[in-house]
Amino acid sequence: MSQVKSEWLQISPELRAYYSRPDGSGPFPLILVFIEAFGVNEHFEDVAQRLAKEGFAAIVPDIYHGKVYDYQDFQNAIGHLRTLQDDVVMKEARASIAAAQERPEVAAGKIGIVGFCMGGRYTFLANAALAEHAAVAVAFYGGGIAPESDPAGRPPLLDHVPAMRAPITLLYGAEDQSILPDEHARIVAALSRAKKRYTLSVFPGAPHGFFSDRRDSYRREVAAEAWQITLNEFSKHLGAKQ
């Protein structure tokens, strides 16, 4: 694995992003990372660094603008989530991609996208809204993609499916009480009707948030398997210079 360099980048006066990359001149394929509802915390700094150790440059837009919530502070985290606007988040993601791709060590061309929880939903949306950039997308337990009724009041995203170009992998826990099998079915039906390339995997015994080792819902073996799936997808569609 590579040594990594990490820093905060000022994307605009209002927006910063956490950025991690392998040590060296590159060029390194770029991965856009969307956060959970708790902000750019140590876990997401670690996710970016883990991607960098695998040969990718990773950028995590701070769409919470400096706010970070404890994993036990669910009420305030979801309260912040409710204030986000999809078009603004996509604008900030696009600006973060542009800033990263101006750097000499970042490879030109298509990128990978990955996100978790709230960020899984944004990964699904970005695969359509930023289709000109996306080579591959992986969404971990993205809530709010196709619910019958979203508790946070967010619009469903299935209308965006026709705009997708890149393959998408969707990863869910079988014990996730917030994203039920009927929602999986609606997502599958929409992607299949639109003739899109996708994979949807459900992990037995895994609850929502199974990937983060900072959460009580962490499941080590499932997280490791899901991470390997993610790396395989990125390597297949982007390559990586070790």
The structural domains of the chain, ordered by start, are: 4-238 (3.40.50.1820)
Contacts of 70 (CB under 8 A, 6+ apart): 38
Catalytic residues: 117, 176, 208
Strands (E), 165-222: 168-173, 198-203
CA distance 218 to 39: 18
Q: Is the peptide bond before 13 cis (omega within 30 degrees of 0)?
A: no
Q: Given this model, what pLDDT does residue 239 score?
A: 80
- CA atoms lying within 13 Å on the CB side of residue 85: 3
Q: Which residues of the chain have pLDDT under 70?
A: 1-2, 240-242
What are the tokens at 47? 């996710």
Q: Given this model, what pLDDT does residue 242 score?
A: 44
Is residue 27 helix, strand or coil? coil
**169 and 198 Cβ atoms separated by less than 8 Å:** yes
Q: β-strand 57-61 against 15-22: which pairing, if any?
A: antiparallel
